[in-house]
């Protein structure tokens, strides 16, 4: 099964939640009027597109209908597709990994699929012939270190770890030295999933960044925030909090296959203006894929 088919399959629940309802509305209306737009608005809001983003989509849709003198409700669907693609306009969603080693810092709260995402990213690049090393920087939970070790063994990559409660920056320092010595292409650093306050979180991430700035001053670096699509608007709140603590370069959106509210992808792009770079659409090791807004919208409306 190709990536697009897997994406289509992964978006089944969202398609039922958004597209099928939109189709029903457009078929049931004989003309385009205010009530039709209200129905569309309700579908988008209940699919976690968010109030702010939905308002923008509906306003733009009304303008396009007027400009193009559209009178058939069924034609609204194509205009809606165009609008969604333009809102999520793809920036470059490839990861910036142009140096050896390059660094990926992975952040996010516990339970969103952070460790699994690290394993899948490691697998993605190992399959491309890259030498990958993992750093078990979430030292506040013994389970996080153990889980990452299971993934490292499964993928067949090296893991640098210390005991629970160690200084995360010290783990990252060790991992950098290993990456240099072993001529690794990519170093992926896990970080604490939950600290008591935003200040704790900021301090930890700053310490890790300082080590990387000092030891690998010219390396390409990505800071990826992992969000769980099934948490809906809560994912946006998490992203806003983490944005205050770190310079996020991209989002990994997991469990997109497990929600009927995949509209969160659109809300994230519009409200946060952080590119969604990778999406998880299944349980398998290779079910993490590069995000394309064009493909997302096509798969949604197929």
Whether residue 50 is predicted with pLDDT greater than 80 in this model: the reply is: yes
Q: pLDDT > 90: what percent of the chain?
A: 52
218 vs 222: CA distance, rounded Å: 13
Distance CA 256, CA 142 (A): 28
**Whether residue 197 has pLDDT greater than 80:** no
- To the question of pTM greater than 0.85 for the whole model, the response is yes
Same domain for 251 and 282?
yes
Q: What is the pLDDT of residue 79?
A: 93
What residue numbers bound the domain in which 45 lies? 3-87
Residue 273 has pLDDT above 70, yes or no: yes
CATH number reported for the structural domain that contains residue 29 in this entry:
1.20.120.140
Query: Does the pLDDT of residue 191 top 90, yes or no?
Result: yes
What residues have CB less than 8 Å from 121, skipping those under 6 apart? Answer: 104, 106, 188, 224, 252, 278, 288
Res 100 pLDDT > 80: yes
Decide if pLDDT at 244 tops 70: yes
Any domain includes 276: yes
* pLDDT of 9 strictly over 70: yes
DSSP symbol at 53: H
Identify whether 253 is part of a domain.
yes
pLDDT-derived band of residue 295, with 50, 70 and 90 as boundaries? Answer: confident
Classify residue 98 by burial, with Cβ atoms within 10 Å: 0-12, 13-18, 19+: exposed
- What's the CATH number where 269 sits? 3.40.50.300
166 and 285 share one domain: yes
Per-residue confidence band for 195, with pLDDT thresholds at 50, 70 and 90: low
* Residue range 12-48, pLDDT digits in tens: 888 888 888 999 998 898 889 999 999 999 999 988 8
Asked if residue 192 lies in contact with residue 110, where contact means CB atoms within 8 angstroms, the answer is no
- Tell me what the mean pLDDT of segment 169-188 comes to: 97
pLDDT digits (tens, 9 = 90+) for 129-172: 999 999 999 998 889 999 999 999 999 999 999 999 899 999 99
Please indicate, yes or no, whether residues 117 and 80 belong to a single structural domain of this protein. no
Q: What is the pLDDT of residue 61?
A: 94
Q: Are residues 32 and 139 in the same domain?
A: no
Choosing from 87, 120, 153, the residue where a domain stops is: 87
The reply to whether 168 and 83 lie within a common domain is: no
Phi and psi dihedrals of 139, rounded to 5? -90, 0
For the chain, what is the domain count? 2
Kindly give the interhelix angle for 233-245 and 264-272, rounded to the nearest 10 degrees. Answer: 30
Q: Name, in order, each residue with C-beta under 8 angstroms of 31's C-beta and a sequence gap of 6 or more.
A: 71, 73
């Amino acid at each position: 099964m190709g990536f697009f088919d897997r994406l289509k399959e992964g978006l089944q629940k969202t398609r039922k939640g958004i597209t099928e309802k939109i189709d029903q509305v457009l078929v049931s209306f004989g003309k385009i009027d205010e009530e039709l737009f209200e129905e569309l608005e309700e579908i988008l809001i209940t699919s976690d597109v968010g109030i702010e983003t939905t308002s923008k989509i509906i306003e733009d849709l009304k303008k396009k209908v007027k400009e193009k003198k559209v009178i058939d409700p069924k034609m609204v669907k194509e205009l809606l597709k165009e609008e969604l693609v333009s809102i999520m306009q793809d920036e470059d969603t490839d990861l910036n990994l142009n140096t050896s080693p390059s660094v990926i810092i992975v952040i996010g709260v516990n339970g969103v699929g952070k460790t699994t995402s690290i394993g899948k990213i490691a697998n993605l690049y190992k399959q491309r012939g890259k030498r990958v090393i993992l750093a078990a920087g979430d030292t506040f939970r013994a389970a996080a270190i153990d889980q990452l070790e299971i993934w490292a063994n499964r993928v067949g990559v090296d893991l640098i770890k210390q005991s629970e409660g160690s200084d995360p920056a010290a783990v990252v320092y060790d991992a950098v030295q290993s990456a240099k010595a072993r001529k690794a292409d990519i170093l992926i650093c896990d970080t604490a999933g939950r600290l008591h306050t935003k200040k704790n979180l900021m301090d930890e991430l700053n310490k890790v960044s300082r080590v990387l700035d000092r030891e690998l001053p010219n390396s390409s670096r990505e800071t990826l925030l992992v969000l769980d699509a099934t948490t809906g608007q809560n994912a946006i709140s998490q992203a806003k909090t983490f944005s205050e603590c770190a310079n996020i370069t991209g989002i990994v959106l997991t469990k997109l296959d497990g929600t009927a509210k995949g509209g969160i992808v659109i809300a994230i792009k519009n409200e946060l203006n952080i590119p969604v770079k990778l999406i998880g659409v299944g349980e398998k090791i290779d079910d993490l894929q590069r995000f394309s807004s064009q493909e997302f919208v096509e798969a949604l409306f197929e």
